[in-house]
Amino acid sequence: MRDPAAKCWQLLLVIGIASACSGSDARVVDDAALSDESRGEDWLAFGRTLNEQRFSPLQQIDTANVKDLKVDWFIDLPDKSGLVSTPLVSNGVLYFIGSMNRVRAVDATSGRLIWTYDPRVTEQAGDRMRVGWDHNRGIALWRDKVILATWDGRLIGVDAATGREQWSTMTVDPTKALYITGAPKVFKDKVIIGNGGTEQGATRGYVTAYDAATGKQAWRFYIVPGNPADGFENAAMEMAAKTWTGEWWKFGGGGNAWHGFTYDAELDRLYIGTGNGSPWNRKIRSPGGGDNLFLSSIVALNPDNGEYIWHYQTAPGESWDYNSNMDIVLADLPLGGRTVKAILHAPKNGFFYVIDRETGKLISADAFTTTTWATSIDSVTGRPNENPAARYEHGSAIVIPGPVGAHNWHAMSFNPQTGLAYYPAIHMSYTFSDSGIDLATWKSPIWKRGTGTAAASATSGAGSSRSDGVVGSLQAWDPVRRKLAWEVPLDGFWNPGTMTSAGNLVFQGRADGNFVAYDATSGAELWRFNVGSGISAPPITYSVAGRQYVALLVGWGGAGAAIGGPLIAAHGWAYGAQPRRLIAFSLNGTAVLPPSPPPVVVSPLPAREFGVNALLAEQGRVEFAERCGGCHGGGAMSGGITPDLRASGVVLSETGFADVVRGGSRVSSGMPAYRQITDDKLLALRHYIRQRAEAALTKPPK
């Protein structure tokens, strides 16, 4: 009993080349393969198949035997930055994108390296390193190619057998602060990608489809209207412009689509999850009000030409970074005596949406965490019943959820057998304020952060929004009964995504370094394994030669890790302290993981002789928040994807600090060069960082 994948694996073992797997009995990755739910051997797409359910029909590993799951193989990875991506498996080869956007192909039964492709992003990214991160959530497989998108905005086709570059297309204007962390998605010989950058400039979001064979542009859809004086690209933009006021185009408008794209093969439609406003503050970008289409929406497009079909907006007049970029999962639900072709969507704003994907009409929306910005979603109009105070009209307002959301990009899975959706929820409040900001003269930032709200990290002033103090949980949501089926409180708020299987299991890594399997029906914990480092990537499962594997990347990362601060730093995943790995588990595993260094909370460097000047430190505070805090952490407390500057000796040295920040001596590690920065600003930054170090030395944070 040998299936084609098994034969392929044997060939691979004997002759040692991956091209053995492109033989006649190997499966071609095309629309039919990407839609085939029945075949559990492979994990061909970001969400396993086109419906994005992350549900595997494999059942060798089940609720009875998962307690025996052991490490089958692992590989150590040489990188220090975050690993957040979903690996793909085809014909016994596992492909994944890691730090610095390097893509690797490894033998899915041993981890043996077949090839590495390095897009050399730090040489290409330039100033883009100031506004984004190198972490990337995934790649696409299409026929003979692996397709990736890079930090600096390229979309690249690579030969799946050899790792050689076949085509490369720049998808962004390099003069704009746009970058890519998302996974390209393929459908009908095309590949779609968007970008991020809403908070770092006057950006106008768009998605573009390219020919998957050549990288040639097929079509582009803008998410928000441009200047009416330039004419509208299409009727949808003309319609959208009626929902904007003032001179929004001067601020770009935003709406950047950086994550959720789903192709619906049944209805032949493409769904795009769109981003928040640029800037966040609607009083600036659209001062006369308005819904501001197509911000924070799901937009259905014709996959052949990018023409608008329908939209559903989750946060009209968005003002809280409540984007709708999260996963768009397709499921058939038994509702009202019929089967509804539904979209399941749990965006940042805290409501779980069920949308009829034939019409774009709301079926239900229910809060899965506390939501103070809106009490409910009107089932007739589909609009939120808003709390007017949430729009910080008179200074500041404490709002739930905060800008990291009630759910972020971390993968949501759906199990058609239990009827439940599984995702990590976040329970935090945030203080929004535009006190001290001149709304009439505010200008979009250039190559730095600016949201039209008071400069603060995404978790500042934030705390748990629950009486039990929990900031994160794993939730199992029943979209038919419209309520939680079960919930598991978790440590920290930045917990990764899930995978579910026909073995009636849900797998989830955790921010605290535990990889856990649950009973999909009850939520009972059935197995856990401590991987010795923070997990930010979702797991997958696949099968080769009759053995089911569960695999995931281990490497703390993503924007939540980047923003740092006490809640994140408390995990102890300090920069470079713990190893980055790819680990595969099976019921027959015999590999032994070397022990990881324990979690470590960084100790600031004592240097009282530096002599902090409070006035200089205050100048440095603003500079740090706009330029440095997005990677080195709010309040100069790193979340672990960068060095904690409070512990850095470089900060003590005028020439050493200038060499790194202005001279660009660490560009290859991802630290951008600020060639134009003045001596005064360098000095102010050093005083701010030292002030934060001294404050922590005097009174360590709880």
- In Å, how far from its chain's centre is CA 241? 29
Asked whether the bond before 493 is cis by omega within 30 degrees of 0, the reply is no
> What gap in Å lies between CA 442 and CA 447, rounded to an integer?
16
* DSSP string covering 6-27: HHHHHHHHHH--GGGGGSTTSP
> What gap in Å lies between CA 621 and CA 474, rounded to an integer?
35
Question: Which letter does DSSP use for residue 604 in this model?
Answer: P
* Three-state DSSP class for residue 242: coil
CB of 317 to Ca ion, least distance (A): 15
CB of 281 to Ca ion, least distance (A): 13
Q: Answer whether 624's CB lies under 8 Å from 449's CB.
A: no
* DSSP string covering 297-338: EEEEE-TTT--EEEEEESSTT--S-----S--EEEEEEETTE
* Three-state DSSP class for residue 692: helix
Strand 70-77 relative to strand 55-56, pairing:
unpaired
Q: For residues 356, 358, 359 and 365, what is the CA-based torsion angle, rounded to 10 degrees?
A: 10
Helix (H) / strand (E) element for 244: namely none
Q: Which is nearer to Ca ion, 119 or 405 (CB)?
A: 405
Question: Strands of 547-554's sheet, edge to edge?
Answer: 70-77, 580-586, 547-554, 540-544
Polymer length in residues for the chain: 702
Please tell me the chain's helix, strand, coil percentages from 3-state DSSP, rounded to the nearest 5.
Answer: 20, 30, 50
Q: Which is nearer to Ca ion, 171 or 198 (CB)?
A: 198
Q: For residues 45, 51, 52 and 56, what is the CA-based torsion angle, rounded to 10 degrees?
A: -80
CB of 2 to Ca ion, least distance (A): 49
Q: Which is nearer to Ca ion, 109 or 408 (CB)?
A: 408
* Three-state DSSP class for residue 479: coil
CB of 370 to Ca ion, least distance (A): 21
Q: Which is nearer to Ca ion, 403 or 419 (CB)?
A: 403
Q: Answer whether 89's CB lies under 8 Å from 534's CB.
A: no
Q: Which is nearer to Ca ion, 119 or 182 (CB)?
A: 182
> What gap in Å lies between CA 150 and CA 147, rounded to an integer?
10
Q: Which of 379, 151, 145, 384 is nearest to 258 (CA)?
A: 151
Q: Which is nearer to Ca ion, 193 or 342 (CB)?
A: 193
Tracing tokens 């600036």 back to the chain, one arrives at 284
Residues lying near Ca ion in the complex (CB under 5 A): 198, 276, 321
Tracing tokens 């535009």 back to the chain, one arrives at 434
In 591-668, where does DSSP find H-type helix?
Answer: 614-627, 629-632, 654-661
Q: Which is nearer to Ca ion, 42 or 318 (CB)?
A: 318
Helix (H) / strand (E) element for 696: namely helix 679-698
Q: Which of 172, 309, 298, 287 is nearest to 235 (CA)?
A: 309
CB of 199 to Ca ion, least distance (A): 6
> What ranges make up the beta strands (E) of 108-196?
113-117, 140-142, 145-149, 154-159, 165-170, 185-187, 190-193
* Active site residues per annotation: 321
Q: Which of 357, 351, 324, 166 is nearest to 254 (CA)?
A: 324
Question: Within 13 Å of residue 255, how many CA atoms lie on the same side as its CB?
Answer: 31
CB of 245 to Ca ion, least distance (A): 21
Strand 540-544 relative to strand 547-554, pairing:
antiparallel
CB of 257 to Ca ion, least distance (A): 11
CB of 170 to Ca ion, least distance (A): 23
Helix (H) / strand (E) element for 606: namely none
* Three-state DSSP class for residue 155: strand
> What gap in Å lies between CA 52 and CA 413, rounded to an integer?
8
Integer Rg of the chain from CA: 24
Asked whether the bond before 279 is cis by omega within 30 degrees of 0, the reply is yes
CB of 449 to Ca ion, least distance (A): 11
> What gap in Å lies between CA 555 and CA 537, rounded to an integer?
8
Return the amino acid letter for 44: L
> What gap in Å lies between CA 297 and CA 318, rounded to an integer?
10
